[in-house]
Amino acid sequence: MFGSREFSKPNLLHGLIGRATGNDLRVLVVPGPELALAGGLDLMDAGLRMASGPRDANVLLLLPPLGDKMLNAASVAFAQMPRPRAIVALGVKNISPLPEADIYGELSQAGLIESVNSLRLHFAQNSFSNSVQSFDAPALQSRIEYTCPMHPEVVSNQPGSCPKCGMDLVPRETGTDTGQPEEKSVQKTQSSSNAAHAHSSHVKTAPAEVDHGEHKKADGESGDATAKYTCPMHPEVVSDEPGSCPKCGMFLEPVKAESDHGSHSHGSHSHESESSVSKLIGLEPGFMSMIEMTEGTPRSSDGLQMEWITVPFGPFFPGLPAGFGLELTLDGDNVAKATTSSFCGFSDSLENGPINAGDYVENLQGQMPLAPLTYRLLACRAIEAAAEKTSENDNLRDATLAQERIASQLRWLTNLGRQLGLKGIERKAAKLQLLIIGADYEQIIKLTPELSQFIKKVKATPFLRRRLDAVGELPPQSNWDGPQSIENNAAGRLVARLDDISQSLALIKKAGAIGEIKLAEIGNAAGHGHASVDTARGKANLHVELKGGQVISAKLDTPSMRHTELVAPLTDQQELGDALVAIASIDISPWEMRV
């Protein structure tokens, strides 16, 4: 059992705990809660509570579509979930490298409820077991090598003793053997903040290593021929090897030779080494000095030298879009650098050659689970443009698009509520989203008063506008084409999204019905076609080339691809909380990013 806790003879108390576990389910959703909402799953209603991270979760809920990258990240998260734990897979079968799911179910609310019931039984019976299997995520596996504590140059693949001093060699991790030089400093910690939220290869400087300030030099440097060791209290004691001071017994500390100064400059910054500063102010080297702690670290914009840490956020971070990988380099709690990635992007290259126009439409729709109909419409329009056909029910198609826009904005509001701790908004937006998707025209019209009331309530939430006012100002002339707002900040974009819901409702009302999106009969048409669609996130463009009724090439341009470039300027020198709110305010969908 990969999820049970080991116990040779489970007793009555264990049975009780198992039942309690089954009644207190904390779920980590892969790819993310948005996918559950978009798929019409009401997790709360099924008795599941969202976990804030892998350590908090006891259920890993897998929903389609799942790519390799996502499954790898999920396997890391699963490795970090405390036992007893379980995997529930709805509508997915192959989940390798994760172990077999404990419960398989169909992708529907009924399937979810049935799975949760089986899960309760599963936890009651299998929380504790005497045959437990360990699970190591492949992405977390690291190579262990053995080294001598006194002679760092001695490295062996096997445990043993040091040929120089006879001491037992101690194990150390070197990360997965990828051959990339920077991977040398990768520390695979089991801490959920580091590895769980990102594929390990994204962690270049593990926060763990830096934040504890052990202030060791990199391995390469410790074996540096120019390194000398001195006593912090007796500068006259100098040795070529580490050891203790003959006068006071203190550990000798490494000192860099003067000739090494140049190697410590970082980019445009440089700093004075410990010894030159000591000379300047006439102090004993190393005595009560903080310089060594910040030696070699880059300088902040305010000129202070601090230790910078690189922290991965995502792909399952509660306040960010699911599947969105974000790596922030933090200088204190200010963002010094932000890099983004996607764990679930699309591919518009037709690897298997030309495909049937109808299949292409289905394919693109399938690749965009958060806006399937929007991209279906985009593909239809582009293909029809190439075939020089016109669709008759454009109004109805726009109404369908509007319905999906409302659902998308409501999901964004759910996320905003989760990020800012506004439970009321989170719950209500999720509930309305579930009602909107799959609703027919009459149902949407019936929901209109409730939606309008909700919009008013969000606008009137005390301090919400104020909270968002100071965050998320886009640089002038930036490439933003999401919902247009009067104010250039997160508050403005909130209002714009709320207004977008109202406008979409009006559009549906005007259309009088909601239409199906079907590709017009194009026959063996050939030619080039271009189309664009106003998605909830901005304008999406598609260019297709048809030949004999088949799509031979396609080029997709999505709003999220363009908006990802705004992450860096939006977060630069922002406090961490503000940076995350700013990123959320531009509503990037990682499904709309290229793999």
Partner 1 sequence: MSSFVLIASLIFATYGVAVIEEWVSTNRLRLAGPLISTLRLLGQENILPRKSDRLFFEVGPVLLLIAALLSLAVIPLAPGLIVTDLATGALFFNAALAYVLVAMIMAGWGPDGAYGMIGGWRFLGQLIAYAMLVVMPITTVAMRAESLSTIDIVNSQEMLWNIAYQPLGFLLFLFAGMAMAFVPPFDLPVASGELAGGVEAEYTGVRLIIFRLGRMVLILSVSSAIVVFYLGGWLGPFGPDWSWSMIKILGVAALMLSGGRMLPRIREATLLAWSWKLGIPLALANIFLVGVLVLVVPL
Where along the sequence are the contacts to partner 1 (CB under 8 A)?
Answer: 5, 14, 16-18, 20-21, 23-24, 44, 49, 52-53, 55-56, 58, 80, 82-84, 127-128, 187, 189-194, 197, 207-209, 211-212, 309, 311, 317-319, 330, 333, 418-424, 427, 461-464, 466-468, 470-471, 575-578, 580
The DSSP output letter for 56 is G
Quote the CA–CA distance of 392 and 82 in Å, as a whole number.
Answer: 56
CB 76 to partner 1: min, Å: 14
CB of 84 to partner 1, least distance (A): 7
3-state SS of 525-536 is CCEEEEEEEEEC
Task: State the nearest-atom distance from the C-beta of 202 to partner 1, in Å.
Answer: 13
Element housing 293 (H / E): helix 291-294
Alpha helices per DSSP H over 368-489: 372-386, 394-420, 423-436, 441-459, 464-469
Nearest by Cα to 365 from 352, 346, 391, 349: 346
Minimum distance between the CB of residue 32 and partner 1, rounded to whole angstroms?
Answer: 13
- B/e letters for 268-293, b = 16+ CB within 10 Å, e = fewer, are eeebebbbeebeeeeeebbeebebbe
**Nearer of residues 336 and 380 to partner 1, judged by Cβ:** 336
d(CA 381, CA 378): 5
Tell me the C-alpha distance between 145 and 187, whole Å: 13
Residue with tokens 């499954």: 71
The strand pairing partners of 285, in sequence order, are none
Smallest separation (angstroms) from partner 1 to the CB of 542: 34
Paired with 550 in beta bridges are 356, 547
* Cβ nearer to partner 1, comparing 381 with 493: 493
Q: Are 378 and 367 in contact (CB under 8 A)?
A: no
Least distance CB 319 / partner 1 (angstroms) = 4
Of residues 419 and 535, the one with the C-beta less far from partner 1: 419
CA distance 88 to 41: 14
Nearer to partner 1, 317 or 346 (CB): 317
417 backbone dihedrals φ, ψ, rounded to 5°: -60, -40
- 547, β-bridge pairs: 550
Q: Return the number of the residue (93 or 212) whose C-beta is nearest partner 1.
A: 212
Q: How far is the CB of 211 from partner 1 (least distance, A)?
A: 5
Least Å from the CB of residue 582 to partner 1: 12
Q: Which is nearer to partner 1, 256 or 431 (CB)?
A: 431
CA distances from 484 to 77, 487, 560 (A): 37, 9, 15
- Which of 51/546 has CB closer to partner 1? 51
Q: What is the dihedral of CA 311, 316, 318, 323, to 10 degrees?
A: 100
Report in angstroms how near the CB of residue 184 gets to partner 1 at its nearest. Answer: 17
DSSP assignment of 366-401, as one string?
Answer: HH-TTSHHHHHHHHHHHHHHHTT---S-HHHHHHHH
CB of 515 to partner 1, least distance (A): 37
Of 141 and 161, which has the nearer Cβ to partner 1?
141
Are 526 and 546 in contact, with CB atoms under 8 Å apart?
A: yes
Distance from C-alpha of 184 to C-alpha of 219, rounded to nearest angstrom: 9
Q: How far apart are CA 272 and CA 227, in angstroms?
A: 17
Least distance in angstroms from the C-beta of 467 to partner 1: 4
Tell me the sheet residues that pair with 527.
Answer: 546
Asked if 136 and 79 touch (Cβ cutoff 8 Å), the reply is yes
Shortest distance in whole angstroms from residue 67 CB to partner 1: 23
Using the minimum distance from each CB to partner 1, give the nearer residue, 14 or 539: 14
Question: Based on CB atoms, which residue is closest to partner 1, 96 or 190?
Answer: 190
Number of other CB atoms surrounding residue 345 within 10 Å: 20
Based on CB atoms, which residue is closest to partner 1, 175 or 515?
Answer: 175
Could you tell me the smallest distance in angstroms from the CB atom of residue 220 to partner 1? 21
Asked whether 308 and 583 are in contact (CB, 8 A), the reply is no
Hey, what are 214's tokens? 């052990």
Residue type, 3: G
* Beta carbon nearer to partner 1, 55 or 234: 55
Alpha carbon 354 to its chain's center: 33
Residues 584 and 390 sit within 8 Å (Cβ to Cβ): no
The C-alpha angle with vertex 345 and arms to 344 and 351, in degrees rounded to 5, equals 115
Residue partners of 236: CB distance under 8 A and separation at least 6: none
| 38 and 71 Cβ atoms separated by less than 8 Å | no
User: Least CB distance from residue 271 to partner 1, whole Å?
Assistant: 24
- Residue number, 22 or 559, with CB nearest to partner 1: 22
Strand partners, 173: 144
Distance, in Å, from the CA atom of 77 to the CA atom of 30, rounded to the nearest integer, reads: 10
Instruction: Identify which of residues 12 and 225 has a Cβ nearer to partner 1 in the complex.
Output: 12
Q: What's the min distance (Å) between Cβ of 458 and partner 1?
A: 11
